[in-house]
Structure 1
Amino acid sequence: MLTLSLLLSALLPQVLGCADHSNYHAPLHSKRQAINASDTLRIPTFWQYDNSQDWGKISPNYTLCQTGTQQSPIALLFNQGLSQAHRPYFTGYTANSTGKYYNWGYGPAFTFYHDEGVYDTLPSMQMDNETLYMTGWHVHAPADHTVGGDRSKAELHYVHYDATGRERAVIAIRLDPGQDDSPFFAQFPSPPIHFNDTSSIENMAIDPLQAIREVADFSNFWTYQGSLTSPPCKEGIRWFVARNILFTSVKQMQDLLGASTFSARAEQEVWLHQVNV
């Protein structure tokens, strides 16, 4: 079995490397439909989040998970201050951006439609005079990042690529229950698609800027050089973690958690991460 798993892990695309949703190019449909597991990007994996400390033992392709110098997630602290550099600008986040809503096997997720190899039609942000394109979002539960030792109930990740199709940045927003509904999550069906449900909702239009509005327009944040948070743990990813928490209602949070499974990688020690540099 070990030999087989090594072979398959080397051959399978790494579409769940912190939910790489860019490989899905769906036809447009107007209603929820049953689809097979591969259509929802549920590529079989031979690793688990609750055993993330041993990912490097599973495959030679995952060595970076053990040896990397900028692995994610890391613990963030209030006494680190907040970033004064690398501020993201979300001028290209347009309402009515269309895609597919589903569950990536660990929680709710969304992938924007785009032609294969074409990224400049996607919602975009500017960072350090570079335009990056958002391929989709997904939820981790509990949160990947802790702040001041506290781990939020969940964490929302906006995944961004450059024009060549290279992973470049993740916008991370911690999620906790509050009093009122979150307008961002109110855009989606209640309850969310369950982790055992391989159906999807196609041709769905959403406003990706809404989550940014709900965390004070992302005006305060930590940033660091990091990695994908699942194998192959690729580095060279700039992380932005919002200082503000996006609050959902209690019911919305219960729905999110009920649709999710454990997907938080063990925290990595700060090394060459250049926090807020």
Structure 2
Amino acid sequence: MLFQSLFIVAPFVASVLGCPQHTNNKRATEPGSNSTKSDWAYEASFNWGKLNPNYARCQMGTQQSPIALSLSNGLSLNHVPKFNFNGSIEGNFYNWGYGPAFTVAHDSDWTTHPSVTYDDTTVYMKGWHIHSPADHSVGGVRSKAELHMVMVDATGHEKAVMAVRLDPGNANNTFFEQLPKMINFNDMNTNVPATLDFEPALASVLFFNEFWTYQGSLTSPPCSEGIRWFMARQILFTGVEQMQAILGASTYSARAEQEVWQHRINQ
């Protein structure tokens, strides 16, 4: 199903918290709000570290995200990810205040979630959300949007992000056709129970068979570092109407690109 009327975006959207914490992990049975007041905005991301002492890392960190990527960086031969995403995933579909998002249903054991293994590390999907425009540019070009799969360790702490660029193409994408329409709730953070097969999204980018990777951070305050980023070289192309639905449900949520410092790109 095409999700043209997916979300009602409220005018106070800029007041919600940044990158979703995906804490709405209980299977939804009724509407529930997830918004939290914030003291910063994406449009003024250069000075986040001056707003709050808890955001100092945003200003002084050595591995801040996002960064500009390019084929001049080469592609990674290290940290090759292997996916274990078999079957359908239950969770909650909602608008995180800046665009579409999905949180995997969770009771107590993170290791039951869809997982990715790289090196000797296994991480588990907590949820995914979309930024618009894309956080990362590639070769100086910024895509219309970027999907972030937030991955955590067995204790539930953020460990990695699998990133996919989104652009409009000539045909609808099978993954986005699964998404339910959002009924006309006025609450932009209303949870809608959904069951999704994520493999079509991964197949669209050839399961990250070509990718960039680097050591980075969360892209909103407090900008915590120690996050392993993976960016698929391939772009996931949506249908024109699918992209219009994504953009219509979104508002500006791209942090300014950061200077490369100790990011160890592809190392």
Q: How many residues get paired?
A: 252
Identical aligned residues as a percent: 54
Q: Which runs of 4+ in 1 moved over 4 A?
A: 190-196
Worse-superposed segment, 187-196 or 64-73: 187-196
Q: Cα distance 1:166–1:111, how it changes in 2: closer, same or farther (>3 A)?
A: same
Equivalent residues of 1:103, 1:194 under 8 A apart: no
- TM-aligned CA deviation for residue 43 of structure 1: 1.5
d(CA) in 2 for partners of 1:259, 1:213: 25
d(CA) in 1 for partners of 2:19, 2:185: 19
d(CA) in 1 for partners of 2:66, 2:263: 10
Q: Give the SS at the match of 1:171.
A: strand
Tell me whether 1:109 sits opposite 2:110 in the alignment.
Answer: no
d(CA) in 1 for partners of 2:186, 2:210: 32
Match of 2:201 in 1: 211
Match of 2:174 in 1: 183
Equivalent residues of 1:142, 1:152 under 8 A apart: yes
Q: Give the SS at the match of 1:120.
A: helix
Q: Give the SS at the match of 2:26.
A: coil
d(CA) in 2 for partners of 1:17, 1:272: 24
Match of 1:100 in 2: 92
In structure 2, runs of 5+ residues without a counterpart are 1-15
- TM-aligned CA deviation for residue 126 of structure 1: 0.6
- TM-aligned CA deviation for residue 197 of structure 1: 2.3
Structure of higher RCO (CA pairs closer than 8 Å, 6+ residues apart): 2
Tell me whether 1:124 sits opposite 2:115 in the alignment.
Answer: yes
Q: Give the SS at the match of 2:68.
A: coil
d(CA) in 2 for partners of 1:134, 1:81: 27
d(CA) in 2 for partners of 1:99, 1:222: 29
Q: Give the SS at the match of 2:48.
A: helix
Match of 1:4 in 2: none
Q: Cα distance 1:265–1:196, how it changes in 2: closer, same or farther (>3 A)?
A: farther
Q: Give the SS at the match of 2:63.
A: coil
The letter of the residue matching 2:180 is P
Q: Give the SS at the match of 1:53.
A: helix
Match of 1:165 in 2: 156
Cα-to-partner distance string for 1:50-80 (whole Å, 9 max, x where unaligned): 0111111111000000000000000001111
Q: Cα distance 1:147–1:132, how it changes in 2: closer, same or farther (>3 A)?
A: same
The letter of the residue matching 1:197 is M
- TM-aligned CA deviation for residue 200 of structure 1: 2.1
The letter of the residue matching 1:53 is F
Match of 2:80 in 1: 87
Output the TM-score relative to the length of structure 2: 0.90
Match of 1:45 in 2: 38
- TM-aligned CA deviation for residue 190 of structure 1: 4.3
